[in-house]
Structure 1
């Protein structure tokens, strides 16, 4: 049974790869991908493709696909062939850590506090982010974990909401105004509207 599951997953992944390699350099919406792979899988195997979303996400996370926006993916042959080069080299990591003074760019904690530091892609690899010094940043393990589970803009908005609330409680008008300006910019550009800011 386990062998069959592995074969099915392999076949499903191969089918998605086949679809994208036939449509290179085109932004493709999720329904088009799912409809084609589901229909083709049924025609070829007589079985139902249960979870195409998972295989698509895995291909994006591995760097084979570029996630353009929510539910939109692209296969860029040039990027796919270079995906192994998208990790930072030891020399790049050292330059980024040195530039950031061996401290997390979010909380400021670093080696002195005994914090594990990670070199992170600002624009994630699965969104086409490259391994360049400019696209690198130092994060502590906690904030790197948060960024991976929340988009970076979400992490930032939550941080500014907490800072805004603290400034209000402390009657720090300058800091409150600064946070208000930042949070209103989020609203102006309709970024992370699902995270509620109580003014």
Structure 2
């Protein structure tokens, strides 16, 4: 069984390499799937004597891995700089393990861990869509709830709302020290004009 799996993986790698070769020969060009498929099928048959049955799937796979950009339905482009950056954006398993270990296997916002039934995620502090790279320093552990909040509200918004809630709680509990701490943090948001659309009362 392992020999069959090994051969299947090797065949898949050869097929993907041929697709990569085609796009690398045509950098920064928007290419229809049909044009790529014709060359890939022909080249694969030439080199192996076999039929490449589903090259479209291989192209989609390279898009999902970040090697290709999807321009429109059935149209892809290979941009060398984009491909390099995409490889830099995703955390490796080793990086994820190191970040989880550094953060004590707990969400850095709420402190919940797996022992509390929390599902943990390794998140980019500076998001990928604004150039955040997959470095240990740019990683943090979040529970699924706070990961969802961050993705939908952005990190600074989530942080400000968290301190507003904490401030309101400290007022109800008449905890002067915590109130002063929260006020200073919230004042910093105002000083730097961050998330001014989120209002709060002293």
Which TM-score band applies after superposition, normalised by the shorter structure? 0.5 to 0.7
**1:63–1:125 contact (8 Å) kept in structure 2:** no
Following the alignment from structure 1 to structure 2, what is the Cα–Cα distance between the partners of residues 139 and 63?
A: 28
CA distance in 2, matches of 1:130, 1:195: 28
What's 1:177 paired with? 180
Alignment equivalent of 2:131, drawn from 106, 128, 131? 128
Rounded to whole Å, the distance in 1 between the matches of 2:68 and 2:154 is 20
After superposition, what is the alpha-carbon deviation per residue over 1:171-199, rounded to whole angstroms, capped at 9, x for unaligned? 10000000000000000000000000111
User: TM-score w.r.t. structure 2 length?
Assistant: 0.60
Q: Deviations over 1:82-114 (max 9, x none)?
A: 213310000000000000000000000001111
Q: Give the Cα separation in 2 of the matches to 1:193 and 1:64.
A: 38
- Aligned pairs for 1:22-101 (under 5 A) are 78=81, 81-101=84-104
Q: Name the counterpart of 1:147.
A: 150
Partners of 2:194 and 2:84 lie apart in 1 by: 32
Instruction: Compute the displacement of 1:79 (Å).
Output: 5.2
TM-score normalised over the length of structure 1: 0.61
- 5+ unaligned residues in a row in structure 2: which ranges? 1-27, 30-65, 70-78
* Alignment match of 1:110 (pick from 100, 109, 113): 113
SS of the aligned residue for 2:96 comes to helix
Structure 1 distance, partners of 2:146, 2:117, is 15
- Structure 2 vs 1, CA of residues 184 and 77 (structure 1 numbering), >3 Å: closer, same or farther? farther
Unaligned runs of 5+ in 1: 1-16, 19-61, 66-75
Larger-gyration structure (1/2): 2
**Runs (4+) of structure 1 moved beyond 6 Å?**
62-65
SS in 1 for 2:200: coil
SS in 2 for 1:84: helix
Show the counterpart of 2:141.
138
